[in-house]
Amino acid sequence: MNWKRLLWTALAVFVVTKGLDYLIDTFVLMRDYKKLNILRPDVTSTSGLMFVTGALVAFMFTYIFVKGREGKGILEGVRFGIIIWLFVDLPTGLGAWMLFPVPIMPIVKWILNGLLLSLIGGTLAAAIYKPAAPARS
């Protein structure tokens, strides 16, 4: 495993997925958050922790992809994104709906957002973390 490539790939996954997640939260989901009144009044006080958590998730997402990588290209990244989505986002979203009095539509949006981010993260990981080029003689 090439740690330098792993870290650069994880950084790319983090920047792109967190940036996209921010845009989706701000422009697509914010109306739902306001209707439900579920945001902390001091949400910015936790932004540092959200940043660290997002970086850790991006690193672990990339690390798991790299460890199981078979070198089958972009579709391998898509497959990985779907697997992670089925393992994390889908059950988390449905679990939240079962436990908390939240309407189903925000849950569906969260689940679809998770699918989009997992697909993009997997695609990025597959596109960026490629085997080292063979040494030229």
Helix (H, G, I), strand (E, B), or coil: what is residue 26? helix
Beta-carbon neighbour count of residue 104 at 10 Å? 10
C-alpha of 113 from chain center: 9
Per-residue pLDDT at 132: 67
Strands (E), 1-137: none
For the chain, the domains span 3-128
Question: How confident is the model over 5-39, as pLDDT tens digits?
Answer: 999 999 999 999 999 999 999 999 999 988 988 88
pLDDT in the model for residue 67: 95
pTM of the model: 0.89
Q: What is the pLDDT of residues 33-42, one digit of tens each?
A: 889 888 888 8
Quote the CA–CA distance of 49 and 45 in Å, as a whole number: 9
Q: DSSP state, 131? A: P
Instruction: Look up tokens 């994104």; give the residue.
Output: 81
* Residue-wise DSSP of 49-117: HHHHHHHHHHHHHHHHHHHH-----HHHHHHHHHHHIIIIIHHHHHHHHHHS---HHHHHHHHHHHHHH
What is the C-alpha to C-alpha distance for residues 51 and 56, in angstroms, rounded to an integer? Answer: 9
Could you read off the pLDDT of 67-110 as tens digits, one per residue?
999 989 999 999 999 999 999 999 999 999 999 999 999 999 99
N- to C-terminal Cα separation, the chain = 23
